Amino acid sequence: MRVAVIQGGPSTEAEVSRASGRALLDAFARRGIAAQAFELTQELASELLAWRPDVAFPVAHGAQGEDGCLQGLLEVLGIPYVGSGVLSSALAFDKDRTKSVLDAQGLPVPQGRALTDVVQQREPKELLLELRKQLGPELIVKPQGGGSTIGITRLLEDAGPQNLQEALQEAFAFDPVVLVERYYQGVELTCAVWDQENGPLAFSPTLIQSEVSDWYDFSAKYAQGGSRHICPAPLESDVLLSLQKAAVTAHRALGCRDLSRSDFILQKDGSFVVLEVNTLPGFTAMSLYPEAAAEAGKTFEELVAGFAHWAHRRGSTRRAEGRALPAGRAVQGEL
C-alpha cells in the first residue's frame, strides 16, 4: 500500500501540519508502509496522479486542507482518503454552522454572534456595549474558520473599545466572518472519537492544563512543555460519560468519518459547552488525539496504519460498486 501524506498549504497552520506529516511518515516507515509527503499546492493533483497512491492521509490543517476543498479534489481524482468527506469537513470548519447543527441535537454551544467586516464601520464603544449586553461581560473574538487559536483574542472585563477594534482586525485578517462569543470560564477538555465497524467510539476525555499562559493559546498548544494533558481526565464518571456521549453525538450530527475530536469547556457548576469539532486533529508528538488513543491501548503506528487501511478498503468497496473510478482512468462507452 502506498500512502500520500498531504500537508502544508496556504493556511497559517501549515507548519503545524508539516509536523504532523513528519510524524506520520515516521510511523508508516516503522510499519513497513510506503509513504510520501505532498504539499498542498496547485501541482498537487498532477503529482498525485503521477505517484498513484493507494490512499491519501490529509493532515493539511486550516483553509483548503480541512474545509472540504482538499477532500473534493481527492474525490474528483478517485483517491480514497482518511477522514471526513466534503460536506462534513466544510460544516465542521465553519464554527457558526457547526453550532447550529449541534444545537439542533440538543448539545450546549457557546452564545455568540457571527459578524462580517461591515461591523468595523460601527462605533467600537457602541458595539462593545451591545455585545456585552447580549453575551456577557467577557468575550472571545475568533475567525469563523481555522484553528490552533490563531487570530483569537480574549476580551475580559477590563477590555475597552480599542481592544475590541484590534481583536476584530486580527480575526478579520484570517476570515471574512468573525465570531464573537461569550467567554466561558472553566476547565478545558477534549474528547477524541474513533470510528469502528459497529459505530463511533469515544476515547477517554483529556483535561488540558496550560503551563505557559492563563488559557490554552497557541504557545500552550505547541511550545515544548506548554501544556499538560491528563487522560483520563480526573473527573467524576458521570461527567466523563456525558462528555463522551456529546462527542459521539457531535461526530454523528456532522457526518464525520474515521475520526474527530470535540473540544469542551467544563464550568464550575458542572455544565459544559461544546466549543468546536475538529475533523483533522493534529498528529504531532504532543497531539491530543494520539495521546487519547494510546491511553486506550492503541500505539501511534497502529492508529495511523489502521486509518490508512480502513480508507483503502472503503475506496476499494466504492470502486467495486461503481461509485468511483481509479485515479487517471478514462471512461469509455455510452453514458
Catalytic center residues: 13, 148, 222, 261, 263, 276, 278, 282
- In sequence order, the 6+-apart residues with CB closer than 8 A to the CB of 266 are 186, 187, 189, 235, 239, 243, 272
DSSP 96-150: HHHHHHHHHTT-----EEEEEGGGGGS-HHHHHHHHHHHH-S-EEEEESS--TTT
Residue 186 — φ and ψ, nearest 5°? 160, -165
Task: Provide the grid cell at 144.
Answer: 469563523
What CA–CA distance (Å, rounded) separates 68 from 53? 20
Taking alpha carbons only, the member of 110, 55, 64, 114 closest to residue 89 is 64
What CA–CA distance (Å, rounded) separates 147 from 149? 5
What CA–CA distance (Å, rounded) separates 211 from 220? 7
Give the DSSP H/E element, type plus range, for residue 154: strand 153-155
